[in-house]
């Protein structure tokens, strides 16, 4: 399993959790973004800069994704593509996207997009809080533990 991070919108505190987890477990992780990001020197952590453009980073992640890889993203359409390709998707708030919950999440996203395009102000998500960080770290640990128990 490899971890892919949709890094353009990933909060710094979540990246820090990911850096520590990748080092602790020896899991390969790549941050993908359309602007330069500094990553700690590590044999496990790499950075891939892509060109600027709509969904360029998302498409690069999907193209490189292997079955059972983990993608960190809050992008619902990207999460849906990851699941369709046999990967796992986890939001920075610790929500594990699954085949069971991704379609309702896509419907809600599309509904909110429609509302916004009609001039309705829907607001954004609340700021990341300590509970979100803890939930993310717990879900990540569960996924990494499950992966380490699987035969290579």
Q: Where are the domains of the chain?
A: 3-149
d(CA 14, CA 128): 10
Protein fold of 3-149: Rossmann fold (3.40.50)
Q: Do the beta carbons of residue 116 and residue 122 sit within 8 Å?
A: yes
Q: What is the pTM of this model?
A: 0.87
How much of the chain is in helix, strand and coil states, percent to nearest 5? 45, 15, 40
Write the pLDDT tens digit of every residue in 137-149: 999 999 999 987 7
Write the pLDDT tens digit of every residue in 11-62: 999 999 999 999 999 999 999 999 999 999 999 999 999 999 889 999 999 9
Tokens representing residue 145 in the block: 């533990």
């Amino acid at each position: 399993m490899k971890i892919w991070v949709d890094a353009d919108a990933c909060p710094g505190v979540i990246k820090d959790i990911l850096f520590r987890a990748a080092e602790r477990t020896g899991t390969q992780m790549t941050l993908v973004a359309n602007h330069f990001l500094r990553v700690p020197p590590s044999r496990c952590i790499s950075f891939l800069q892509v060109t600027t453009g709509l969904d360029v980073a998302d498409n690069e992640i999907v193209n490189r994704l292997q079955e059972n890889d983990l993608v960190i993203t809050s992008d619902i359409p990207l999460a849906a593509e990851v699941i369709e390709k046999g990967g796992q998707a986890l939001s920075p708030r610790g929500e594990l996207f699954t085949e069971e919950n991704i379609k309702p999440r896509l419907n809600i996203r599309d509904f909110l997009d429609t509302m916004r395009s009609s001039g309705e102000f829907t607001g954004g998500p609340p700021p990341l809080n300590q509970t979100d960080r803890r939930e993310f770290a717990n879900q990540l640990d569960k996924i990494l533990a499950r992966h380490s128990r699987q035969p290579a």
